[in-house]
Amino acid sequence: MSAEQVQTKWGQFIPLVTVFFFWGFVAASNDILIPVFKKAFDLTQGQSQLVSVAFYVAYTVGSIIYMIISYLTKGDLINRIGYKNSLALGLVISALGTLLFYPAANTGSFPLMLSGLFIVALGFSLQQTVANPLAIALGPITTGSQRLTLAGGINNLGTTIGPLIVSFAIFGSVTSGNSEMSIESVKVPYLVLGAAFLLVAILLKFSSLPDKPQAVVETESDKTSARSSALKYPQLILGMIAIFVYVGVEVSTASNLPAYMENNLGFKTQDIAPFISLYWASLMIGRWTGAVEAFTNDMNLQKILRFIAPYLAFGVFLGVNKFMNHDLTPFYVYGLIILVLIIADMASKGNPARMLLIFSVLGIVALLTGMATDGMVSVYAFTSVGLFCSTLWPCIFTLAISGLGKHTSQGSSFLIMMIMGGGIVSWLQGAVSDATNIHFSYIVGVVCFAYLVFYAWRVSGILRNQGIDFDKKVSGGH
């Protein structure tokens, strides 16, 4: 590893994380659109989840298009046009998708709305294929997972803000008492978002981001990349399923929460946004906690920051909701649940496989608790799933592409393809809800977490057989 890779390249990392913010903003905003579209277009719970299906299946379609183009041109598309140019191109594609919200809102067309979301996510697919391995590569491998966790924390700043802004655009101020929804009002925030996409595309084009990260160049001739394809690595194959079920449980838990709160607890649609915001803020809380190691090697300072970071993120959530004039009283007790996250993070000792195992078990406990209780206790339990999903993406991604070398971008594309789990699992939970009830439907998420427990156990042995031991890497980094 070259000398400049000893520390994180913050000058390149900071502009990169802007795209992570956008992914979160749009993904979490979908949870507000789902109940709005359900009422406006008179949809069943299963049909309303087509919002998630259209958005997340686009990731798969985008990855397939990427692989077809790479095959037809006999070369990896991203390696040829460069990582930076690929990011800019992805942002332009997403901007084109936001333009469809204007005619869709004016005509009240549900299919056109879905088409706009599909194209936005199509651009996100290319962005994610580039940005995730790039975040890992902009510094030492020992803190690659933590760096991706930090980028995820910025992503969840977007998920915290997104539902509040979109809800405000549709319903106006909570204090106004407005309960009328306007489909036409959806177009304004998305057109503004499209303009932001184009602005960031220009900024990234002229940033110092590398066209090809040095870490990938260095490993192209490495013995660990001697296999002919990324699909020859079992950690990737099993990791693809893990990404599918992880994104599935993360998205479906949130996207079905509005229906649960409306049907079982009597909440009004416009009053649910702060709780959706809390769910996605929970991912931010967990990711800020998990990113501590990316900032310092000082073990004592890390212990202090592990307590400061999550409550700082929780403070951001409270501050944003205070600014939006929401009642904060229901949320203070959540500070106690955050202690469980801190203890679990410390127990993982920075090992992504161990963290995946511990947090997946806690996810199962949270869902079963929510299913076994009623009232606000169940809401807090379902919301805490966000805490335990928070570091799973970087854990799975890091474990799945470890040792792939020159096949890293190909492996990344396969993983991004599996983001479609967010749509498929959400639809499946919606269908189970229609067949039984919304409360029982969360059993789907329990099954997803169960597979993640299996993957965490299995991948450790697979990587050790390839000479990759994260306990040694982490201890060597200190």
Calpha distance 40→57 (Å, rounded):
23
In this predicted structure, what is the pLDDT of residue 99? 93
In this predicted structure, what is the pLDDT of residue 141? 62
In this predicted structure, what is the pLDDT of residue 175? 42
pLDDT digit string, tens, across residues 272-315: 888 988 998 898 898 888 777 766 777 788 889 889 999 999 99
Calpha distance 295→143 (Å, rounded):
9
In this predicted structure, what is the pLDDT of residue 157? 82
CB-based contacts of 126, cutoff 8 Å, min separation 6: 62, 66, 86, 87, 89, 90, 93
pLDDT digit string, tens, across residues 362-410: 999 999 999 999 999 999 999 999 999 988 988 898 899 888 877 777 8
Closest CA to 455 of 398, 414, 396: 396
Angle between helices 421-435 and 50-72 in degrees, nearest 10: 150
Residue 7: Cβ within 10 Å count: 12
Domain boundaries, the chain: 3-476
DSSP class of residue 329 equals: G
Calpha distance 416→126 (Å, rounded):
9
Calpha distance 152→216 (Å, rounded):
21
Q: Per CATH, which fold does 3-476 belong to?
A: Growth Hormone; Chain: A; (1.20.1250)
Residue 88: Cβ within 10 Å count: 25
CB-based contacts of 223, cutoff 8 Å, min separation 6: none
In this predicted structure, what is the pLDDT of residue 249? 96
Q: What residue ranges of the chain have pLDDT lower than 70?
A: 1-10, 140-145, 172-182, 213-228, 294-295, 470-478
Q: 392 and 290 in contact (C-beta within 8 Å)?
A: no
Calpha distance 30→52 (Å, rounded):
7
Residue 11: Cβ within 10 Å count: 11
